Chains A and B, each alone.
Chain A
Amino acid sequence: MPRLVRLHVNGQVHEVFTPPHRTLLELLREDLGLTGTKHGCELGECGACTVLVDGRPILACLALAVEVEGAEILTVEGLGRPGNLHPLQEAFMEVGALQCGYCTPGFLLSAKALLDQNPAPSRQEIHEALSGNLCRCTGYLRIVQAVERAAVKAR
């Protein structure tokens, strides 16, 4: 039976009628039109669907929308917008940390969760935080550099 859920996404409240088995990924992309969150597997294997729930990175393809009711959800659309980018977004652009860009929203949010917790992470800690996100294009080196650069910028 569909039920009404109230979700706080990027600082706005949305009320959606949804069947209980609907994933957060489906709800974000299909009901709210927030297509910035990507999917590469829908099985919890690629990290492309990473969003933040109360500041913690989760895989939106594995979470049910009903489970995150009431929590603060952040997607790439809420991270920053043209003219007012998050330091991570700027750093990704500047060092060339993206190519096809498909993995980028997931990496940005995993990295944000890390920097919010730990503003001066070591390279090891960055590797740890990003090891659940796959990128097939960049070879990761520039993604790591971008996170380091954003950390310095934010300080």
Chain B
Amino acid sequence: MKEFTWISKPYPRVDAEAKVTGRVRYADDLVLPGMLFCKLLRSHLPHARIRRIDTTRARSLPGVLAVLTGKDLPAHKFGILPTSQDQEALCVEKVRYVGDPVAAVAAIDEWTAEQAVRLIEVEYDPLPSYMTIEDALFKEGEPIHAQGNVHKEVSLEFGDVATGFEEADYIREDIFLYHGSAHLPLEEHAAVASYEPGDLLTVWSSTQVPHYLHRTLSKVLDLPMSRIRVIATPVGGGFGGKSDIFNHEIVVAALAMITGRPVKCTLTREEVFYTLRRHPTLMWVRTGVREDGTITAMHFRAILEGGAYGSYGVATTYYVGALQPITYKIPNYRFEGMRVFTNAPPGGPKRGHGTPQPRFALECHLDKIAEDLGMDPVELRRRNLVAPHTKTVNWLRITSCGLAECLKKVVEASRFHEKHRRLPRGRGVGLAVSGYLSGAGLPIYWNDLPHSQVHLQVDRSGSVTLSCGAIDIGQGSNSVLVYTVCEILGVSPEDVRLIVADTAITPIDLGSYSSRVTFMAGNAALQAAQRMRDLIAAAVAEKLGVPAESLIFQGRQVKVGGGEDRALSWREACEVAEARYGLLSATGTYTPPRLAGPYKGSGVGPSPAYSYSACVAEVQVDEETGVVSVEKIWIAHDIGRALNPLLVLGQVEGSVYMGLGEALMEDLSVRQGVIRVPSMLEYKSPTVKEMPEVEAFLIETVDPEGPFGAKECGQGPLLPVPPAIANAIYDAVRVRIDEVPITPEKVLKALERRRKGEEGRFGPGGFPAIRFKEPIRVAPPSPSSAGRVEPRP
């Protein structure tokens, strides 16, 4: 195997020095001459009609330059998905959650803007509000949106579930609830807009999706995309929380156009809490297995509490059902899912997008089945694992799959079998596995553009200008781009000038979501660099009279191989090539292969490759207080290839951390439309003291489709953590907590029930009696097509 120079090495991230010296400019750090400050007036009611808005007093406050209401804007709604265009930058007719913006002010400073916001008078006619899934489904009254309170319903059946259950020797049903949680990025969302003569609008924003923001601004402001420039600033934490379009991003643009001055809006922490959250999800699952533990059928139902707007919710609903079959062979599978509107902040994608909830349910459910059958939970999983290079019942194409190795690794390292059901009371171990996408196979709106492109420009100085639309949200995309190009061109990071996420000058990348950037922008960078190398090689080969294939690009030199010691320095080679061809330019692109199955809804779930993870948690449960402390986590992740082990391990550990927070404490509960604890002190998240020891293993399976064989690592490793902890709690004290977060109160209640001789469980008591629509019936892929890896289009 070829030795790499920059790939697979633990170099610091390329932006590390700028970050440790405080030199990175995040959105709120930007200051422009004459800049104004914007504040939004938000609804204090969860559901109400707007009768009247009076801005007279606010306008007359000295220092106020503009006051904006929804009526001052073109009447275009927006939404991240083409099917859910249901939001207004400022509400015109009604508000749908506490926090829905109704007016905005631009003033000379923040303090004046705040004062002016208080002077705006709004009269509302309150409407009945829908606070829970049950309210949304059964309460009478004006629905939140005209379509009714059911936002999306999905019903799919793959294979024949009825027959599958008939073949089963044992069938079990369970109900689970996964509460909502906050993304809680450390950086509050911020945006700055400036409007120059000639209709040139520039918006800087801490966004994960500059391309979608670009499109949305064009739509809602009636301005052609060619007159708009969106620059994503380095994002101070996203986790999906900055992957939607936010009202303030549109409002600052409109205010800049009205006032002719730059305008900044930085959300307060309280406002950030009201932006998006993980969907609270209620789930019911029924599985049939044979005596030997092999699964014959699975039926999974879920209801997602969607909050006030669509956001990515249609996709989220599908995701709740899509990925169960990528870890286990499920020959017959039925999924019924529904997303309902409630008068709460919208549910949006958060790390794992719609899959941590069902993964929690599935892995706890299987643990119970193993217990019922008297089987080792490791063995139960092993008997059902998917094999590499197969297709799932719902037509997902699996390429590399290191799940069996991941499982083996964590089971051995944790000495699971010596501990499981054998530790002293109060102490236990639990296991779970999972899989995740390396980027969504389809864009969120129909288009034929590449999903990612990288452009390289090289000149006589030897400097490489790398441009790409991808934005680094901390995951390390800048480093992946730079190290990939360095590897192929044989240059050093100092030679590379990086320009990212500027829609006026960088080629397209769809955004930093769905764990797609390393895979897709990485592939694009690889192709661009190979093309650039070929270009330079051709010129150098001609000059030296050697075959281009014999040239080696390494150590800032272009060397003649085969024992000759002739070489040009990188700079000389660039000069030779520029003299021959003019300024050197190369573009690489990546578009995933067409992978969607032959059914409606098959667009959610396909990915060019899936990552896999396995996790063992060891916990200590205090039966007096109900407090669970996680003593250690073992996690193995099938990364394909670790392009930079330092960064990959960072993603794995960060995922474990976030999974731990969701498992034990993070709960964004909304009561009567109001977030109980919109502060970082009271919204409990793990501090350094709650973080257990983590032993992480990287399993390399070298995926045929990934750049250098790499797959994702930013989201997948979160998934197995909550169920592994829940299963460990059962091992420790024999109670099942079927609801996250697993707070001490829930543990105590379950323990008390067990003492009384009842079922030692805490969790939802039932699943609403709703009749889902008749499923779309889909035949599974034929066994002959299952092993085939289709070529790229």
Residues of A within 8 A of B (CB): 29-30, 33-43, 45-46, 48, 75-77, 79-82, 85, 89, 92-96, 98-105, 108, 126-127, 130-131, 133-144
Contact = CB atoms under 8 A, between A and B. Distances in A.
Interface in B665-698: 679-681, 685, 687-689, 691, 693-694
30 contacts: A35-B22, A38-B26, A39-B188, A41-B680, A76-B22, A77-B22, A81-B21, A85-B21, A96-B10, A96-B650, A98-B19, A99-B13, A99-B650, A100-B237, A100-B473, A101-B24, A105-B22, A126-B688, A130-B688, A131-B688, A134-B680, A135-B186, A136-B184, A136-B239, A137-B186, A138-B654, A139-B657, A139-B658, A140-B687, A142-B650
A100 B474 contact: yes
A80 B12 contact: no
A138 to B, nearest CB: 6
Given A42-B268, A136-B185, 11 more contacts: A34-B22, A43-B680, A81-B21, A85-B20, A95-B646, A99-B474, A127-B689, A136-B237, A137-B474, A138-B654, A140-B687
A121 B177 CA distance: 42
A39 B24 CA distance: 14
Contact of B21 (A36, A136, A139): A36
A48 B186 contact: yes
Contact of B654 (A48, A79, A134, A139): A139
A101 B234 contact: yes
A39 B268 CA distance: 10
B680 A45 contact: yes
Interface in B437-481: 473-476
A101 B25 CA distance: 11
B20 A40 contact: no
Contacts of B93: none
Contacts of B20: 76, 85, 89, 92-93, 98, 101, 104, 108
Contacts of B658: 136, 139
Interface string B98-134: 0000000000000000000000000000000000000
A82 B234 CA distance: 19
B654 A96 contact: no
A12 B694 CA distance: 43
B650 A43 contact: no
B694 A80 contact: no
Interface centre among A40, A136, A137 (most CB of B within 10 A): A136
A94 B10 CA distance: 8
A76 B186 contact: no
Given A102-B26, A136-B237, A144 B688 contact: yes
- Chain B interface size band reads 35 or more
A94 B475 contact: no
Nearest to A138: B654
Contacts of A80: 21
Contact of B22 (A36, A40, A46): A36
Contacts of B649: 96
A23 to B, nearest CB: 12
A42 B21 contact: no
Interface string B647-663: 10111011111100000
Contact of B685 (A30, A39, A108, A136): A136
B691 to A, nearest CB: 5
B409 to A, nearest CB: 19
Interface in B4-26: 10, 12-13, 15-26
A104 to B, nearest CB: 5
Interface string B239-256: 100000000000000000
Contacts of A130: 688
A38 B17 contact: no
B687 A40 contact: no
B17 A101 contact: no
A141 B17 contact: no
B269 interface: yes
B235 interface: yes
A96 B19 contact: no
Contact of A100 (B28, B185, B646, B691): B185
Interface in B64-96: none
A98 B16 contact: yes
B351 to A, nearest CB: 10
Interface centre among B21, B23, B237, B239 (most CB of A within 10 A): B21
A139 B653 contact: yes
Contacts of B26: 38, 102
Contacts of A141: 653, 691, 693-694
A79 B23 CA distance: 12
Contacts of A126: 688
Given A43-B679, A45-B681, A139 B691 contact: yes
A102 B22 contact: no
Contacts of B687: 131, 134, 140
A101 B15 contact: yes
B188 A40 contact: yes
B9 to A, nearest CB: 12
A96 B269 CA distance: 27
A126 B474 CA distance: 24
B143 interface: no
Given A137-B237, A143-B688, A36 B694 contact: no
Contacts of B679: 41, 43, 45
B565 interface: no
B193 to A, nearest CB: 19
Given A38-B236, A96-B650, A101 B21 contact: no
B187 interface: yes
Contacts of B23: 36
The 4 tightest CB contacts between A and B, nearest first, are A36-B22, A100-B474, A102-B236, A139-B657
A88 to B, nearest CB: 8
B413 to A, nearest CB: 17
B19 A40 contact: no
A91 to B, nearest CB: 9
B624 interface: no
B333 to A, nearest CB: 34
B654 A40 contact: no
A144 B692 CA distance: 12
B724 to A, nearest CB: 15
B17 A134 contact: no
Contact of A75 (B17, B22, B689): B22
B187 A38 contact: yes
A104 B186 CA distance: 10
Interface centre among A79, A82, A98 (most CB of B within 10 A): A98
B476 A99 contact: yes
A53 B351 CA distance: 37
A37 B22 contact: yes
A148 B348 CA distance: 38
Contact of B680 (A29, A46, A81, A108): A46
B255 to A, nearest CB: 20
Contacts of A134: 186, 680, 685, 687
B758 interface: no
B697 to A, nearest CB: 15
A127 B184 CA distance: 21
Contacts of A144: 688
B418 interface: no
Given A40-B269, A41-B269, A89-B21, A46 B186 contact: yes
